[in-house]
Amino acid sequence: MLDFDFACPTSLADAIEVLAAHNGSARPLAGGTDLIDYLRTGRLSANMVVDLKRIPELRVLTCGDNGLTLGAAVPCCEIYGNEQIVKNYSALSDACSIIGGLQIQSRASVGGNLCTSGPAADSTPALIALNAQVQLVGKGGSRSVAVEDFCTGPSANVLQPGEIVQQLTLPAPAAGSGSHYRRFIPRNEMDIAVVGVGASVTVADGKITAARVGLGAVAPKPLFAADLSQWLVGQPTSDATYKEAGERARQIISPIDDHRGTAEFRTHVTGVLVERVLREAVARATA
Amino acid sequence: MATQRVVTATINGRERSFLCEPRQTLLEVLRDVLSLTGTKEGCSNGNCGACTVLLEGKPVVSCLVLAVECEGQSIETIEGIDTKDGLTPLQNAFLENAALQCGICTPGFIMSTKALLRDNPNPTEEEIRFKLAGNLCRCTGYDKIVKAVQDAAQRRCGSGCGCNG
């Protein structure tokens, strides 16, 4: 691995200072499951690596009536190990429990998954479904973006040089809500999504009253299926609804052919997964 | 070259200080600086799990940890598993069930299994296969490893150390 220097600030202000001082040549480190491999293979370079895991604001995890606040460096295992998140933000715990194996889940963070900005990131469609806001902070101050607007393409996002994700905020789910994330992979575990679908729904009297659907690995960035989500409002919780939703999802994606699957296959699987994920999200909402 | 750092960590219950460069992984430091060569290098990109150690009690692949990150933390390696009385029930279960052939993956499997059985003392076969998916073995076909983990779950460490192995 090429040489770099290392800093381990314990305050947000110190982290911002050291990142700003390197004008984009410093790399923030959370779980390191992407970064350390990228530095080793030369895919990324760094003069300075800044470990963010000892900054309290990036390790916060509070879940209550005001919603969920999730520090960017909180590892996956703390997320699926939290009963309130499993119950109220199921799509997120579903995603975190299938990212890599146990060893990756001990270290990898949702904030890091977002910042790597892979089109097939498992946690991002779940965050889209759960309507997450991303809080960014840098030398110029802080700002907030909707999670579906964070990624701009493969490995690209809205972060400016020296800027980091501080935390994610997810609104408290309304009564009668449920969510789910599921992906298709050729193996049983430890693989990258061929298609990933996250959905959250609110159900009352047999009808969907609110919905958000996020799609992964079928476009240059994770997609918020806005029109589909809007169409679902008012629909009955029936197999016909889920099937039609799957068909509508197939119309808005632009998948690629690669060794994991052809565009044709991804298009087919997108419809199947949307159908199944909605059915499960509704089952959880009405359980 | 970036300045070498002194890092102090508790390794297998003993506080140790070592010198390392920021770019050195925990795996490199364990093997090349501390001579703890029980931890094996497999893929070095986080896929195979051969280099699994416990960091603050959690299984991690030491090839994807910088040694400088470990300041003040506790690390347990395969060298810390056995006791003065010899092998633990977890190690004996692997041995007696022939859950290894070449042995490169075994230290990683033992460390992951220790964490698995601590958190879930009676896992189902499906849970074992899912939870140990981060450890690859190219020799055994996994069945003997799964049987060894089931066997280890049945044996209880008599020392009262809480190791579940």
Would B113 be classed as within a structural domain?
A: yes
Residues A81 and A161 in one domain: yes
List of E strands, A139-265:
141-146, 151-153, 156-157, 164-170, 177-184, 195-204, 207-216, 223-224
Q: Residue range B69-98: average pLDDT?
A: 95
Residues B76 and B124 in one domain: no
Contact between B146 and B159 under an 8 Å Cβ cutoff? The reply is: no
Q: What is the pLDDT of residues A222-240, one digit of tens each?
A: 999 999 999 999 999 999 9
CA distance A36 to chain B (A): 6
Would B31 be classed as within a structural domain?
A: yes
pLDDT at A209: 98
Residues B46 and B97 in one domain: no
Q: Using the beta-carbon criterion (under 8 Å), do A8 and B69 form an inter-chain contact?
A: yes
CA distance A92 to A234: 25
Contacts of B71 in chain A (CB under 8 A): 8
ipTM of the complex: 0.95
**What residues in chain A have their Cβ under 8 A from chain B's Cβ atoms?**
1-6, 8, 29, 32-33, 36-37, 39-41, 49, 51, 53, 77, 100-104, 106-107, 188-190
Q: End of a domain among B29, B60, B80?
A: B80
Q: Above 80 in pLDDT, residue A135?
A: yes
Q: How confident is the model at residue B157 (pLDDT cuts 50, 70, 90)?
A: low
Residues A153 and A202 in one domain: no
User: What CATH number has the domain bearing residue A43?
Assistant: 3.30.43
Q: What is the pLDDT of residues A197-225, one digit of tens each?
A: 999 999 999 999 999 999 999 999 999 99
User: What CATH number has the domain bearing residue B96?
Assistant: 1.10.150.120
Which structural domain, as residue segments, surrounds residue A12?
5-50
> In chain B, where does DSSP find H-type helix?
26-28, 89-96, 106-119, 125-131, 143-154
Residues A188 and A243 in one domain: yes
Residues B65 and B94 in one domain: no
Residues A91 and A148 in one domain: yes
Which structural domain, as residue segments, surrounds residue B74?
5-80
Among candidates A20, A36, A254, A239, which has minimal Cα distance to A140? A20
Would B73 be classed as within a structural domain?
A: yes
